Each structure stands twice: as structure tokens, then as C-alpha cells.
Amino acid sequence: MIVNIGIELAKVLAVLIGVLNLAAILTWMERKQSAVMQDRIGANRASIFGFRMFGLFQVLADGLKMFVKEDFIPAQGHRFLHGLAPFVAAFFALIGFAAIPFGDTIHLFGREIPLQIIDLNVGILYIFAAMSLGIYGVVLAGWASNNNYAFLGGMRGSSQMFSYEVTIGATILGVLMIFESMSLQQIVRAQGQLLWGIVPKWGVIVQPLGCILFLVAGIAETKRVPFDLPEGESEIIGFFVEYSSMKFGLFMLTDFVETVLIAALVTTLFFGGWQVPYLMADGWHLPGGTLLAWPQWLVAITQVIAYAIKVFFFCWFMLLVRWTLPRFRYDQLMRLGWQMIFPLSILNLLATAVVILLLN
Amino acid sequence: MPTVTINQKSLTVPEGTTIIQAAEQLNIEIPRYCYHPGLSIAGSCRMCLVEIEKMPKLQPACNTRVTDGMVVTTQSPKVKEAVSGVLEFLLINHPLDCPVCDQAGECYLQEYYMKFGLHDSRMNENKIKRHKAEVIGPHVILDTERCVLCSRCVRFVREVSRSHEIGIFNRGGQSEIRLLPDQVLDNNYSGNVVDICPVGALTDRDFRFQCRVWYLSKADSVCNGCSRGCNITVEANRQRAHHGEGRRVMRLKPRFNKEVNRWWICDIGRYGYKFIDDPSRLIQPLEKQGDELEPLDWSTAAERAVGRIREAKQRGGAGSIVIVASPQLTNEDLFVTRKFFGVDLGIDQIDFRIPDKNTLSDDDFLLRADRNPNTRGAEAILLDGGGFDLQRIIESASTQSFGLLYLCEQDLVKKLGSEPARRFLGQFDYVIYQGSNENETSGLANLVLPAATYAEVNGTFTNFEGRVQRIHAGIEPLGDSLPAWRVICKLAQTAGFDYGYESAAEVFVELAQTVTEFEGLSYEKIGSEGMKLPETQPVPA
Amino acid sequence: MNRRDLNFAERLYLSEVFKGLWLTSGHFFSNMKKHLARQLGFTRIEKGAVTFQYPEERRPFSPRYRSRHRLTQREDGSPRCVACMMCETACPARCIYIVAGEHPDPNIEKYPARFDIDLGVCVFCGFCVEACPEDAIRMDTGIVEIAAYSRKEMIYHIEDLLQ
Amino acid sequence: MPELALLTHVQHRNLMTVEEYRQTGGYEALRKVLLEMKPDQVIEEVKKSGLRGRGGAGFPTGMKWSFIPKNSEKPKYMVVNSDESEPGTCKDRVIIEKTPFLLLEGIAISSYAVGSSTCYLYIRGEYYDQAMILKQAIEDAYRHGFLGKNILGSGYNLDVYLHRGAGAYICGEETGLLESLEGKKGWPRLKPPFPAISGLYGCPTCVNNVETLAAVVSIIQNGGDWYAALGTPKNGGTRLFCVSGHVKKPGTYELPMGIPLRSIIYDYAGGMKDDRKLKAVIPGGSSVPILTADEIDVKMDFDSVAAIGSLLGSGGVVVINEDTCMVKALLRIARFYAHESCGQCTPCREGTTWLKKTLQRVYEGDARQAELDQVLSIAFNMMGTTICPLADAAAMPVRSYIQKFRHEFEYHVQHKCCDVKPAVRI
């Protein structure tokens, strides 16, 4: 029992540390990547005893700065809710990771340990529930600031999130129909199959449109460019205009955690999760029928690394998008969400249903 | 009455009018250096050359009288070339030290160069070196390098001041203005040579390096130095507080008034503005606490004053209160003073005449022995039927005891001498001093009310001839000080009277309705040149 | 402004998005390649960034660059300035404060008894330099790092400006 | 020998006393005027003679006299301009030295004609000896009753005062002379008012040259028509030509108006000294435009000389030979005018000095070629813009020298030496 709890705690800690570190590193990456894309160098000044580490210490410096800056609360703001909002946002962004599998079940010391904090059979619903609750953070922050601009920003942000959540829901229905499960572990396992013996049966292969729509809606859900209206501080003012110090930092962190979450979801739903094509539990099953036997621990590590690489790639991709596209106007954002992506996702759903019906 | 045509514009002028005068009436600018309407015609600068039909050579407009049918051109190429040529001659030996020249900005060399010259220098030789920055009198400094030898100053000391201190020495290119042997330019009108100097050769030592002229704002006013009432312009620097040691009024300049001072003003008046920004200015009401005067705010001060006046009146009747006004005050101030104290409070012991132990003299030109700008106005307003004679009380040195003295702008210690002044003031239980500057008399008062100076107020002065002339505020009253009429209004309102005057103009309207001598006058009628009171006798000097 | 109507592909937006991503990622990869190469010691490969590492690497200023003011000097080290107030007058920010004094040499006459520039107010427009008839003020020091801990310290006096 | 009007009796001896003068018919004209003629008749006679002012401007003398108001309440003054300072001129001196009473008689006649009983004789300060002669002569004339109260019993009074100038060229200008006479600085006055209306001490004043007044005597003696016939139309009589420079016989010659310049130089002055080639001639004092050797056939009267762009001026003929550097000559003249400008009018005060400085540099070869045109432009700007003609007097030679001898100026500028004597370095 204690061992079980210990194992669970270890997994929680591993995920938490991994996600938070990735989010932190993303703040550095965002700067460096934009710099490289724009023929610049990017943050490289922060140093410890003269070591600069390509500016990696910038993350620490930022954190330190966030902690020591003045924590400002508007005079007429709701002190409690104002303080609560960033935690709500961060909390619901983080708990989503509980249902995401980052590897196959491994056998260690006679135990079966699933590389997933909890394998919920309604895992996907759980994640969306958590994401939806994240809206509270936005609305609370806007309202508690007692600032009309912040409040409007909060309203805008929440309506944006609502709108795109609908699309997300409609999009993944296709995936669920094909893989016939709501357990993410099951979905990933199902993606290990091969179509016609050669093509991995990844979500992106069977649901290409769904994949794109999900990615778009996912970015919108995380309020990142080109849907970062809540962050347009200087132009239209977002919900956390009245936030400073680490509370502000938490919102920023949430942003990056959500980025990781969407990257993880895309990986899980459409890019085979921890699956590596042709790599089964016992080794490589190459298309010709040949088997290249690998020890089980090597396979497990390969799969976890593959998963990490995939997530990392989508994080990189979202940063690439962030530094390429300009921001939408609010009306454009709404039109895109309701008049284009949502109808398309319904269409995708219908098409999927028809194909499944015909194939069966 | 000949008719002349200048630049296609025709004009009929009286016989003897010169072209330059006719052109002025037509608003045609003819450049000039030596010509000054107040001086004889020298015709030597050769800037005013004009082309006259049927005359082969260009003629100087300053010396050519208009004849009937004369056709004059000031714009022809020939004229332009000649004027530009003369300007070039003037500039070849000019040091071009405009940066250090106080005249820069109001210099006719600069002005005409921009209008008529604009040529590049063709002078390849060294400029002639002459005397620079030479002090030639208590008020004037001479720079002979900048001089264009227009001889205005020389003619001024010959014809106007008749003091003959300066002349032109040497001849040809070596000519320069110098003091005559054993002479100093120290007549009482020496400052005028600075005004008439069209360039920076003669500059004012008082104004020297204090402020650049383009920072100055100007307000038309009347000199308060004597009863002549010379028209002046108060030139104040309101833009650059760090200039001139923080002084606001930088200089006074005479303003042309054909009937009063023409172009001139005496040095006593010209440099008599220093008290305006002096550290001795009273900038808040003060009350005597023990031996010291302690500041207090206006409403408290007004309540204190009114309370004391009421108290004195209740105890000793109106006869125990004496009001001493001042001929330094404007007609408006005096009128409000009379209205409040005389009419509303029923105090008939109002006078402004204080015998002065210092004998002051006049000169035979502008300066008058009476060094107050508004004696005539004070007589018209305060002595209008009143028979109170303050002088008798002062001179009798009686031991009679009074309740309260209200003293306006009168330095009794200076005028009567310390002992008599203290004795006189000692006769009163309470002394209120209303004035602009701290002095020994204000130090003896129980309550001091700060008043604005003439440069800070709108109003009118009446000169010795009975000419009522407007003064305009050039600057804001310093600190908490108020125009005298506003001080009285404050007291009157505190005492419960309705004194709702918004401006000096409103006071004057009532003044003109109330005081017989001012009947029918208004600010519009007074205009910029002033207007004489009907049927008045001049005050003896 | 005449705008071209978008064609179908452009209106779809997606293809344009990918074009953009292609372009930016192209930059990313080529620059990354250069960065890596240089990190690995191939210093002959060109730099992946066009930026200068400011405090260590400085670009030479253009001769017309307007940096901190200085007052030029006569041969004897006194300021050339004659306190004509031209710069003070021309200054749109009103950050120059001059008080004139009388110089014993009649050929100089006027000198600045006080010449302060409030660099906290200065807009570095260079009008003062243009206005100066004596070439007494210049903005060619090359000093651009002007900072102080108080507003008062931002006021440079004549001694500072003469250096 | 042509007929003479002035120096008739003094070719061989001077007439220094009243007696000597009377022996040659002196004072007959005055007697005739005072006893037989009215002032208007005198003026008529002078008008008839065509006599033009010999001072330089050539204004008809009779007309000038008639401008003096007849019924003035103020006293009228006769002023004799003997401030003979024009370089190249020495005619007044000859009259004073040889026959002072001719001048005094002329003064008396003309004073009578204009109704003046006071005459001021303003003589150049440097003429000390001449002033002494005149002083002597005036005393002599008083003694013999030709000056003073009731001259020749006619009831006409005349006082003559001799005044010595202090050596300023500008005092030869009539209003400058009047200022000087009044004790002020010799600054020419603005005109109008002209001296005929408001002159000395603000009174009507007639200012005449010595030679003019001397000529009046023979006009009265022989009649205006006789005098007019001596010269050419509108230019009556004879005049004194002071020939100087590179001629064999320099001197003052009385010759009829209208005589060709060539004749003056070659017939009377004996031709060129050392038989050098003639280069140029100044026909009327330093202030007039110069004439080249090609132009010496001009008739020497006011109108003919003016027609070829020069002026007869004061009759000072300066002959210049080929060895003379015109740049140096002009520089000399420019220096003179820069020194003598009174400094009143801007163009003259500044212009003369500027011209002097620039010409100095031209002479030394330090100037640029373009500055020659600049000098012309400066001179042009000076002309016609001043109170008195001194600026013109300074500018006219500059313009004519540079126009007519430009190559010499250019040579100086280009080679820093003179093309007349190139070997001599400056």
C-alpha cells in the first residue's frame, strides 16, 4: 500500500516537475526561438558567477524578480478573489495532466506500473472539465480587479474560451468514434495499430481535418497567438492588467502550462502518444514481418522519450506560430470560431460517422 | 495741401510734410537710421533714399518735402539696390557681435538686413577696431564698433537734453562717438539715447545682459515717478524666471504721447521700477504679535481690520478714525477708498497730503517736483467737498488721542522724519498699513495689508494737467498682494457691504457717475493717449 | 488605398499560414545551423544574428549623431559661449538655463555665469547646436549613457559640460 | 597769344598794392558799378557773359546770384571759396599771389550785386603766405576806401573778413565751408535748403570761387558780350588751366574756354617731358574721370568734356606719361579721398575706406581678379547717394581708371607686380 502510494506520488511529482520545468523552459524558449527566427540572439545576459548558459538563467532571474516585486492589489479590488484567481487558473491547468499517459505500462520488480498518473476511463472528459474550470481564473481575475478594462478583458477571454471549447469537443468526437474509447491510454494503444500493414493508425492519419481543427481550437483555448487577445495589454487590455509580481507570474505560467497541455493532448490524440511506429513491447516489428527484439526497459524508455520529443515539438510549433502570425481582431476571432471551425468540425464528425458506418 | 503718390497710393498732406512722414501715414516703410521725428534732420545715413519722378538722383525721404503731384517710388530696383548698398556699407565694419549685444532682437541693422539686405559679406579686409564696452555715464555704455554714426544721440544731447556731452570725433572711416572732454553722459535724460539708438552702440547698463528682448512682454502704462505722467511701456520677463536675478520687470521704455512726454522719459522715472520686484515687497498680510509681524491669511486679516475699525468707531465715533490715502494710488483705488470709508462708514477724516521734509526739485523739461502720479486725481476724488486737513494735525503735534489710523502707501518715517512720524503714529491706538513694500512705517503698524504695485494693476492716473491716462497690468500681483481697490473691497465685503466689482473698469464706471470732475469719462474715451478732465486748473508743481 | 481582392487560397488563410510558418521556420533552422556551427568552433561561418552585443561591442556613431552636449573652449580653456541665449531660445524643451555675466575683456563682454542643461528634460533635438552662432555648444561627445539617481543629478552644470 | 581776362596785366609783374593795381585800370569796374549800375544790371551783365562757376560744378554765376532773395529781413552774406584743395589745382593761388586786388574788386562788385555788405573770404589753411598777402591787400583796400563804409562815396558798405581753414578738403564744398565758417565741424549740409536761401548763420548766402569773382571785373569792364565771345557758346570767357605732371612746362595758363586739350599740352605746356609717350590726362582735378591719350582732342569746356564722360572740374590738368602705374596713381587718389571723407554719409565714410583698402591689396597683388568688379560695384554704390559730391569724386576716378586701364590692374593681381616696370617688385 505504502509502496503504491509512493509510486503514485513519484509519478505525480515526475509529471509536475516535468510540466512546470517545461513551462519554465518555454519562457526561455519563447525568447530564444523568436530571437533566432528574427536574426537576433535573445536573452543571454543573466549569469551566475559568469556562466551564462545561453541565457537559461534568465528563467531563474525572472522568477526571482517576480517574487520580489511589489504585489499590487487595486484599492477597491476584491482582495481574496484577486489573490485566488491566478491559483484557480494554474490549478486547473495543471490537474489536466493527471489523465495523460506518457508511456506504456511497465513491469518493474514484479509490479505493473502504468506510466500515467491515473487511467480514467473518461480521461478526456476529465481534461476538458479541468480546462473549462480554468475559465474561472480568467473571470475572477477580471472581476476582482475592480477595473472595467480588466473585467471586459475577462469577459472577452471567457467567451473566447467557451467558443473554442465547443469546437474542441466536436473535433475529438471523431477520434473517440474511431478509437472507441474515452480512456487516453486506450486511445494511445489503439494508435499503435497499423493500417494496411504499414501506416501507423495515428489520429492525424485517420482524422487529418480534425487534427488541424483541434490544434487551432487548442491554441485559441490557451489564449496564445494569434488568439492572445487577453494578453494584448497595451492595445486592448486583458483580464490580468491589475496583476503584478508572482500572481502575474502565475498567469504567465498557466499560459505555458496550457501550451504544454495542448501539446500533450495533440500528441496523445493525433500523434500516437508515446507510440513509436513499428516499436512494440517486444521490439521492432518492421513492415516486412521482421522482428528486431529489444529489451522491454529499452522500449519503455524509447517510448517515454518519443513522447517527450513529440510534446516538445508541438510546444516548439506553437511558439513558431506565435512568432509568425499577427493577432486576430475580436470579431475575426469569433467569426473564425463559430462560422468556420465549428461547422467544419461538425462536418468532420458527420464524414467520420459515414465512413465508419460504410467500413463496418 | 499737396497731394503725393507713393507706391501708387495717393495722399494729401499739409504743406511742409516730408516724404518719410507721408509714407508713414500710408503705412509704407522707408528704412532709416538717422531720422527721428523728435530730432532735427541729419540726412546722413542715406537709408531712406527714394526715387522721385523727374529727379535724376535718388533723394533722401527724410529731408525731401512733398510737393503737389510728386510721384515717389520706394520699391524700384534702383532704390532697392541703393538701400542694399548703403546697408552693406554700414555692415562692413560692424563687428556682428549680435550674440553679446543687448540690442539684438530690436536692432534696426538686423531688421533691415533681413528686409533689404540679405547679401553675403564681400569685405575681405580686416574690420576697423574701435572702442568697445565703454562706460560713458551712469546709465549708458557705448560700443563704437557697433555704431552706425546716425548721430541721433548727438542731436539728442544738443537739441533735447541740451547737455552736450557727446559728439562725433575724427573724420571719415575713423569717425566715432566720444564723450566731449571732461564730460560724462549723466543728465537726467541720458537713458533716452539708448532708446533712440537704432543699433547696439548705446545700451543700458541697468538692462545689460539681464534678459534678451524677445522674452519680454509689454504692457502700456504710465510712469509713477512724478505728476507728469509720462507714458511708458512696462517690459516684463514672464518666460525665463532665472534671468535678471528673478526680476520680472526688466525695464521701462517711454511710449510716444504727443501731449505729455513725446518720445522721452527721465532717468528717475526710467529706473524707478526697482521696488516692484524688490525683496522688501509685502506678499502677505501681517499682524503685530509682540515686536514681530506674523503672517496671517486674507480673510482673518480683513476680519481683524474691520473689527478694529468697528471697535474704534463704537468707542470714539467716526472722529477717532483717520484715513490717509496716497497720491500713488489710482483713481479707482482712491474712489473705492472714499466710498468705503467716507460714504459707507461715515468717516470724514480722509486726506492724502503729507508734508515732505525732503525737498525735491523739478527740471525744466519733464520731471516735476511732485513725485506722485495721481495728486490731481486724489484732489478731485478725495477733496471733493471735504474739508479735513491732516497737515494741521501733524504739524500741531497735539497730544490728542485717536482710535485708528488707516495708512495707504505713505512712508511717514521717510517723509516726516523718524521722530515726528513716531509721535504722530503714537497718537493712534491701532495702525493699519496698506502698501506694496516694507518700510519703517509699515514696521510700526499693527496690521499690514499687502497691496499691488502700479505695474500689476489696471486703472487710471490723473497727471498734473488733469489728463486721465490708463495703466495696464504687465505682471500679476506678487504673492498674496492685491490691487488697493480690491483690498478695500475685501474689507467692505467683510463689513457686510456689497462691493461686487469685478474689474477696475467697473469701478471707473461708477467713479465717472459719482465724481463730478470725471463725469462723462470712460476707458474707451481715454484710449491710449489719455483725456483731460474738463475745466481743471493744473496743480502747482 | 487600393487593396487587391484575396483569391480563394488566400481567403482560406490556412495555406498562407503555412507559407508564413515556412518562412519563419526557415529562418529558425538556418540561423540555428549557424549558431550551432559557431558554437562548435566553425568561426568562419557567418553569424546567425545581426545584433551587436552592446556594452562590449559598440557600433561607431555617425558623425551627425546627437549625443550628450559639451561646451567648446577657447584656447585659454574658458567657454566659447557668450551667453547669447540663442540655444535657450531655440530649445523646445526649455531645458537650458543661462545667466549672463560681464566679462572683463571688452572683446568678449558677455560670458555664461551659469549654463545648465537639464538632460532629464532635453529631447536631443540638436536645435541648440544649430542655433549657436559661436560654435560653443556641440553634441559630439559620443556619450549616450546618461543616467542618474535623481532629477537633480540630471542637470549638468557648466563644469560638467566643459569636459 | 589769345586775349586774356584775368591775368592781363600780371604776366610780367605782380600787382601787390592798390596803386600798382590802379595804374593798370584797377577799380574802374567797381567805380562803374557803384556809381552807374544797379545790382540787377550787374547780374544781367554777368548772365550775359555766360560765366560759369569756376569752382568745379560750373553753375551759371548770374543765375546763382539771382537766387539770393531781394527783400530778405536777414543779412545776406557773400562767401568766397578759396579753399583750393583739389589735387592738381592751383589757380586761386595764382590770382591771390599776383593780383589780390582783382579778387577784392570782384568781391566788392558781386557783393553789391547780391546786396550783401559782409563778405567772408575762406582761404585754405595751407595757403599761409597767400593769406598774408590777402590780409595785407584787404588792409590796403580799407585804407584806400575800396572796402569799408561808403565805398567811393556811393553809400555802399562792405566788410571783408579773412578766414583761414584748418586743412580739410571737404571744406571746399560750399555747405561744408559754411559749417566750418560757423565754427562747426566741416560737414556738408543737406540741401535743400540751399545756401542762397539759408546759408551762413541761416541767412541767404552766396558762395563763389575766387576765379569766378576775379572774372567778374573784366566782365564789367569790357561787357558781358565781350567776355562771352572769348569762349564758346554757354561757356563764356577764359579760364585758368593748371597744367601739371609729365610736361615740359607745367604751370597755370589762362586760356579761352573750348581750347582743345591737345593744344594745352603740346602748344602751351611744351609737350611731353623727356618726349615720353602720353598715356592719360586728368582734365579737371583728381576727382574727375580720366581721359586716355586718344581722347585729348576734346574741347576744354564744361559741355564738351562732359560729353565724353569726364568733367572740366576745377581745371587741374594732370598729364600722365607711359611710365606711370595707373594702379598706384588710383591708389594715391583713393587714399586721398579716404582721408578726406568727412564721415557723415554712410556710403562715403565706409566706401572710401573700403576702396582704399581693396585697392591697396590690388596694388600689392593680394586681391583676386573678381575683386576688380567688386571695386567697380562699390564705387557704383557710392555714386549719387550722398549729401555732397565727395563720394562721387572718390568713385568716378576708380570707375574710369579700372575701365580704361583694366589690363594694368589685372596684371597687378596676377603677377604681384607692375606691368609698367615689371622688374620692380612690390
C-alpha cell at B234: 512696462
Whether residue D197 is predicted with pLDDT greater than 80 in this model: the reply is yes
pLDDT band with cut points at 50, 70 and 90 for residue A108: confident
Q: Are residues D252 and D351 in the same domain?
A: no
Q: Are residues D221 and D178 in the same domain?
A: yes
CB contact under 8 A, B93 and D345: no
Q: Are residues D134 and D211 in the same domain?
A: yes
- Mean pLDDT computed over every residue of chain A: 88
Nearest-angstrom CA–CA distance, B521 and B512: 6
Q: Is residue D341 part of a domain?
A: yes
Strands A279-280 and A283-285: antiparallel
Q: Are residues D42 and D116 in the same domain?
A: yes
Domains of chain B: 3-91 (3.10.20.740), 98-277 (3.30.70.20), 286-532 (3.40.50.740)
Q: Which of A328-342, C37-51, D382-396 has the lowest mean pLDDT?
A: C37-51
Inter-CA distances, D239 with A152, A318, C50, D79, D229, Å? 113, 115, 96, 21, 13
| CATH code of D360's domain | 1.20.1440.230
C-alpha cell at C101: 555675466
Using only C-alpha atoms, chain D has a radius of gyration, in whole angstroms, of: 22
Complex ipTM > 0.95: no
Question: What's the distance, Cα to Cα, between the start and end of chain C in Å?
Answer: 53
Q: Which of A197-201, D213-217, D372-376 has the lowest mean pLDDT?
A: A197-201
Strands (E), A219-289: 279-280, 283-285
Q: Which of D297, D321, D345 is the last residue of a domain?
A: D321
Residues of chain D with Cβ-Cβ distance to B42 below 8 Å are: 190, 344
Write down the pLDDT at residue B539. Answer: 53
Q: Are residues D64 and D169 in the same domain?
A: yes
For residues A32-59, give the mean pLDDT.
86
Whether residue A134 is predicted with pLDDT greater than 70 in this model: the reply is yes
Closest CA to B215 of B196, B235, B234: B235
**Alpha-carbon gap: C80 to the closest alpha carbon of chain B (Å):** 12
Q: Is residue D278 part of a domain?
A: yes
CB contact under 8 A, C110 and B100: yes
Write down the pLDDT at residue A115. Answer: 85
- CB-nearest partner of D343 from B41, B47, B173: B173
Strands (E), D67-108: 77-82
CB contact under 8 A, A39 and C51: yes
How many other C-beta atoms can be found within 10 angstroms of the C-beta atom of residue D406? 13
Alpha helices of D223-345 — where are they, by DSSP H? 224-230, 261-263, 302-307, 326-340
Write down the pLDDT at residue D418. Answer: 84
Closest CA to D241 of D253, D250, D231, D249: D253
Nearest-angstrom CA–CA distance, B289 and B300: 14
Nearest-angstrom CA–CA distance, A86 and A99: 22
Q: Is residue D401 part of a domain?
A: yes
pLDDT in tens, C76-97: 999 999 999 999 999 999 999 9
Residues of chain B with Cβ-Cβ distance to C89 below 8 Å are: 212, 214-215
| CATH code of D202's domain | 3.40.50.11540
Q: Is residue D7 part of a domain?
A: no
SS3 of residue A48 by DSSP: strand
Q: Are residues D210 and D357 in the same domain?
A: no
Q: Which residue of C has its CA nearest to B99?
A: C84
CB contact under 8 A, B209 and C133: no
- Residue written as cell 573778413? D161
Exposure string over B49-61, b if 16+ CB within 10 A, otherwise e: bbbbeeeeebbbb
Residues of chain B with Cβ-Cβ distance to C85 below 8 Å are: 212
* pTM of the shown model: 0.81
C-alpha cell at D13: 609783374
Nearest-angstrom CA–CA distance, A199 and A208: 14
Write down the pLDDT at residue D46. Answer: 94
Chain centroid offset of residue B114 CA: 31
Q: Are residues D314 and D334 in the same domain?
A: no
Q: Which of D273, D288, D321 is the last residue of a domain?
A: D321
For residues A141-147, give the mean pLDDT.
91
Q: Give me the sheet containing B3-6, strands edge to edge.
A: B9-12, B3-6, B70-73, B49-52, B59-60
pLDDT in tens, A68-95: 999 888 888 899 999 999 999 999 999 9
DSSP 8-state assignment for residue C152: G
Number of domains in chain D: 3
Q: Are residues D219 and D256 in the same domain?
A: no
Each residue's pLDDT, cut to its tens digit, for chain B (541 residues) gives: 899 999 999 999 999 999 999 999 999 999 999 999 999 999 999 999 999 999 999 999 999 999 999 999 999 999 999 999 999 999 999 999 999 999 999 999 999 999 998 888 898 999 999 999 999 999 999 999 999 999 999 999 999 999 999 999 999 999 999 999 999 999 999 999 999 999 999 999 999 999 999 999 999 999 999 999 999 999 999 989 999 888 999 999 999 999 999 999 999 999 999 999 999 999 999 999 988 999 999 999 999 999 999 999 999 888 899 999 999 999 999 999 999 999 999 998 899 988 888 888 888 899 999 999 999 999 999 886 666 778 777 777 667 788 999 999 999 999 999 998 998 898 899 999 999 999 999 999 999 999 999 999 999 999 999 999 999 999 999 999 999 999 999 999 999 999 989 999 999 999 999 998 898 899 999 999 999 987 655 555 4
Q: Are residues D251 and D313 in the same domain?
A: yes
Owning domain of residue D280? 238-321
Q: Does B89 touch chain D (CB under 8 A)?
A: yes
C-alpha cell at D272: 611731353
Strands A283-285 and A291-293: antiparallel
Q: Does A33 touch chain C (CB under 8 A)?
A: yes
Partnered with residue C131 across adjacent β-strands are none
- Mean pLDDT computed over every residue of chain D: 92
Name residues whose C-beta falls within 8 Å of residue B376's C-beta, 6 or more positions apart in sequence. Answer: B227, B462, B463, B464, B465, B466, B533, B536, B538, B539
Residues of chain A with Cβ-Cβ distance to C27 below 8 Å are: 36-39
Q: Is residue D398 part of a domain?
A: yes
Write down the pLDDT at residue A360. Answer: 78
Residues of chain C with Cβ-Cβ distance to B214 below 8 Å are: 89
C-alpha cell at B204: 543700458
Q: Is residue D394 part of a domain?
A: yes
**Alpha-carbon gap: C65 to the closest alpha carbon of chain A (Å):** 24
Residues of chain C with Cβ-Cβ distance to A321 below 8 Å are: 17, 21
pLDDT in tens, D298-335: 999 999 999 999 999 999 999 999 999 999 999 999 99
Partnered with residue B60 across adjacent β-strands are B49
- Quote the Cα angle for A240-A246-A251, to 5°: 40
Q: Which of D321, D351, D383 is the last residue of a domain?
A: D321
Q: Are residues D216 and D78 in the same domain?
A: yes
CB A150 within 8 A of CB A240: yes
CB contact under 8 A, D346 and B47: yes
Write down the pLDDT at residue B224. Answer: 94
- Chains in contact with B, where contact means 3 or more Cβ–Cβ distances below 8 Å, are C, D
Write down the pLDDT at residue B540. Answer: 54
For residues D185-199, give the mean pLDDT.
92
Residues of chain C with Cβ-Cβ distance to A341 below 8 Å are: none
Q: Does C126 touch chain A (CB under 8 A)?
A: no
| CATH code of D285's domain | 3.10.20.600
Q: Is residue D55 part of a domain?
A: yes
Partnered with residue B168 across adjacent β-strands are B177
Exposure string over A102-124, b if 16+ CB within 10 A, otherwise e: bbbbbeeeeeebbbbbebbeebb
Is the peptide bond prior to A226 cis by the omega test (within 30 degrees of 0)?
Answer: yes
Which residues of D lie inside 8 Å of B (Cβ-Cβ)?
Answer: 168, 170, 185, 190, 192, 338-347, 349-354, 357-358, 361, 367, 371, 374, 380-382, 384-387
For residues A280-293, give the mean pLDDT.
83
CB contact under 8 A, A320 and C21: yes
Closest CA to B89 of D370, D394, D410: D394
Q: Does B489 touch chain D (CB under 8 A)?
A: no
- CB-nearest partner of C24 from A35, A37, A41: A37
Q: Is residue D6 part of a domain?
A: no
Beta-carbon pairs below 8 A across chains B and C: 39
Q: Are residues D123 and D265 in the same domain?
A: no
Closest CA to B45 of B82, B13, B81, B78: B82
Q: Are residues D332 and D391 in the same domain?
A: yes
C-alpha cell at D59: 553753375
Nearest-angstrom CA–CA distance, A90 and A140: 13
Q: Which residue of C has its CA nearest to B241?
A: C97
Q: Does C133 touch chain B (CB under 8 A)?
A: yes
Q: Among residues of chain C, what percentage have pLDDT more than 90?
A: 65
Write down the pLDDT at residue B535. Answer: 64
Residues of chain B with Cβ-Cβ distance to C106 below 8 Å are: 132-134
CB D238 within 8 A of CB D230: yes
For residues D237-265, give the mean pLDDT.
94
CB contact under 8 A, C133 and B98: yes
- CB-nearest partner of C28 from A37, A212, A321: A37
Q: Which of A175-179, B184-188, B429-433, D277-281 has the lowest mean pLDDT?
A: A175-179
C-alpha cell at B136: 560713458
Closest CA to D401 of D371, D378, D372, D358: D372
Residues of chain B with Cβ-Cβ distance to D381 below 8 Å are: 81-82, 85-86, 88-89
Q: Among residues of chain C, what percentage have pLDDT more than 70?
A: 100
